[in-house]
A and B are shown apart, each in its own frame.
Chain A
Amino acid sequence: MGEVTIQHYLSLSAILFFIGVYGVLFRRNLIIMFMSIELMLNAVNLSFVTFARYSATMDGHVIAFFVMALAAAEAGIGLAILVMVFRNRTTVQADDLTLMRD
């Protein structure tokens, strides 16, 4: 197994980020696309905290905290938009929302 290094954490962060990218690109359910964005934000947080640990400074922790506050605001707004879309169109499929395209 060997020792856990900074590269392990960064690779895991990249993998988690691309799982999120897959969700945003290829799923058509708005709720799951939204949760994929949360996963991507979380993967970036992991990178910040990793760099903080391996440079022995705590600025990364503060930035991770800001990202979390941002994610909370985004969650509130995103879900409110979701509820409103569902109320008006009775769908959460991204394919059905074509008002701007037509």
Chain B
Amino acid sequence: MAIAFYILAFLSILGGVLMVTRKNPLSSAFSLILSLVAVAGLFAMLLAEFIFILQILVYAGAIMVLVIFTIMLLNLKREEIRETPVGKFQVVFLIIVCAACAFGFIEIFSDIPAADVATAEDFGSIEQVGRLMLGDYLFPFEVISVLLLVAIVGVVLLAKRVI
């Protein structure tokens, strides 16, 4: 299991780093897909079956298709893409904060029993998550559906030339 974790972690970080460093938005989008699929693998390792499926379907599927579609629709010329150079000091500062956070997590949660926590047979299955979602979390679930409806109306209003 450890080797799978390190491979997936490496791929997700690689995808993320490529995403923020590529000049061309299209290569960024494909790097982000690599990162998202690797994180989906981590979800599977964490026994989150339902979230794993959603990650592939919604994130790596629907959202990224929308992003790539928009990038191709805009069809940017090479000279339209420029970047202001990034100061070394800022990058070093960010890396220090990131390392502090990562090691901070290791310290803060060092007393949690980290080894395999026993879980039920059907932990993370669609049925169990569905019961929770339509039971305890019924109200947030309905609010999310209203949010999506508002988003749909908003997108139509924004993208229409003449209303």
**Residues of chain A with a CB closer than 8 A to B94's CB:** 18, 21-22, 25
Tell me if B158 and A81 are in contact (CB < 8 A): yes
Q: How far is the CB of A5 from chain B (nearest CB, A)?
A: 3
Taken residue by residue from 60 to 77, chain A's Cβ proximity to chain B (1 for < 8 Å, 0 otherwise) reads as 011011101111111111
Tell me if A76 and B66 are in contact (CB < 8 A): yes
Q: How far is the CB of A54 from chain B (nearest CB, A)?
A: 5
**Residues of chain A with a CB closer than 8 A to B36's CB:** 42
**Chain B residues engaging chain A, CB cutoff 8 angstroms:** 1-3, 5-6, 9, 12-13, 16-17, 19-20, 22, 25, 28-29, 32, 35-36, 39, 42-43, 45-48, 50-51, 54-55, 58-59, 62-63, 66-67, 70-71, 73-74, 76, 80-84, 86, 90-91, 94-95, 97-98, 101-103, 105-106, 109-110, 112-115, 117-120, 123-124, 128-129, 132-133, 136-137, 140-141, 144, 147-148, 150-152, 154-155, 158-159
A-B interface, 10 closest residue pairs, ranked by CB to CB distance from nearest: A5-B114, A73-B151, A18-B98, A23-B20, A11-B102, A19-B16, A10-B105, A80-B158, A14-B101, A53-B46
